[in-house]
Structure 1
Amino acid sequence: MSRRTIMIVGNGSVPEGAAAKIDAADTVIRFNDCRSVGPSGSKTDIVAVCNTGRPARSMLEGGWKTNAAVCRAKEIWSVRSAEKFSKMRAGLIEAYPDLGDFCDDYTRDFAAYAEMTGRLHRVLPAHVHEQLDRDLARFSPAPYVVPSSGMVVIAAVLSGFAKREDDVMLTGFDHVGWELHPFTAERRLVETLISQGHLRRLA
């Protein structure tokens, strides 16, 4: 079986001259509104979306469906399991009252869009998220709500989407952002996975 290059492109900074290397990859995964397009090339095979809460509603009510990168993608991945997030709702609202709509689920809307436009829709399974929480716990993160979508996708790719011989590469991951994602622990986990040879950062 031939070796594939799977490029996971976050919405953070990318190395100068990265575009050609990213566009040459066999599979390119981007996130949400794909604002990484430009300095990181244009090839987009998979768009992973945050399918709950305000980010999901904003995409669906805005111009996401006509975004050029989204239109190029062959697959849409919903990062959050509706079943898992529905179980989280009561405890989350108690701990963070301003996150009352955080677990509102828009998976069906993304699935309907994918079906209407002839592309595959996947929901990343809850067990990927749960194993990721256990892996992050090794780095004693401060209290957090959920891992970032980027980290969930990395975990999903490594737990079955990528084959043993594939080359999984990251770029656009600055590990900063919303204070209720465990970015410091995520950075440490990514560096551990790199040291173990499971993935690489695009130099």
Structure 2
Amino acid sequence: MTISLYAWGTPNGRKISVALEEMELPYVVRPVNITKDEQFDPDFLAISPNNKIPAIVDPAGPDGQPISVFESGAILLYLGEKTGKFLPASLRDRVPVLEWLMWQMGGFGPMPGQVHHFAALASEDDKRYGLKRFSTETRRLYSVLDARLGKTEYVAGKLSIADFAILGWAWRHERHKVDLAEYPNVKRWYDMLFERPGVKRGFDAKLD
């Protein structure tokens, strides 16, 4: 049965389209135009009470019953559990996937997102302060990622939902004022992922 993906063409939306493609799950995109405040529509709020994209509705959820899931990290975990793909079964192997997924959710998303905000939308006075503060932290996070990828092929060892989560934001590196050439391990990982047909399809998916 076909999963409905409620999304827009943002890093968080791309995380899920990439995961769905890599997991070979049938899905249909239900665009939620956040530029027109469609995320506040009552029908969307019924499945995503935090009025944020993405969200999914799986008609073949647990016990064969429909289920809706909001928050991109929760969606990735749900899809990994559902398919048994890109989420290790053993607790020991799962721990680094969870660590790097939470790393993305807590830092490598909120911080680069602030860079984009201040670079594109803030007043000149706010821009100077905001860009200095959040650009410094964003570059630190890229350095953390680069150090990790200097030790392992993928962030958690094997390809996992953590890679999909982080890739969604690394995709916007130019908006973060970051040149991946300064982070050679990140660039290697980034280029390698974009050679995958599922990743390409996920980024080509028309979300908006």
Same fold (TM over 0.5): no
Whose helix fraction is larger, Structure 1's or Structure 2's?
2
Higher relative contact order (CA 8 A, sep 6+): 2
Q: Give the TM-score, by structure 2 length.
A: 0.28
Q: Give the TM-score, by structure 1 length.
A: 0.28
In our comparison, the structure showing a higher alpha carbon Rg is 2
Whose strand fraction is larger, Structure 1's or Structure 2's?
1
